[in-house]
């Protein structure tokens, strides 16, 4: 039997704004934070779609999604930022 307890923390500034931007329709900030933590930790087995509670297909397994696409979506913005920084450093003559 798995153990469970309530975990809460305060979020503010950019971190809170980021969590709010990740919210799915009908999802509270706390639910979004919980979903994000589960997805990032790899313990999420399903994606919840709160906007369709009566739909029997509201749960779809993460396994149906390509892991490569999930990783790419998260890493792509970082790679673009690094490329921009490298380009700027080259313009400044920094090796």
| CA distances to 21, 32, 50, 76 from 79, in Å | 21, 25, 32, 5
| pLDDT score, position 13 | 86
Sequence spans of domains, the chain: 1-63, 65-95
Write out pLDDT tens, residues 64-86: 455 556 667 778 788 888 888 88
pLDDT band for 8, please (50, 70, 90 cuts): confident
Tokens of 4: 């469970």
């Amino acid at each position: 039997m798995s153990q469970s307890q309530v975990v809460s923390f305060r979020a503010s500034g950019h971190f809170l704004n980021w969590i709010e931007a990740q919210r799915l329709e009908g999802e509270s900030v706390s639910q979004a934070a919980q979903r994000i933590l589960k997805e990032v930790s790899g313990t999420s087995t399903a994606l919840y779609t709160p906007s369709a509670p009566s739909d029997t297909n509201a749960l779809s397994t993460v396994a149906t999604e390509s892991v490569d696409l999930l990783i790419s979506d998260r890493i792509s913005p970082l790679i673009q930022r690094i490329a921009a920084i490298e380009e700027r450093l080259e313009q400044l003559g920094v090796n």
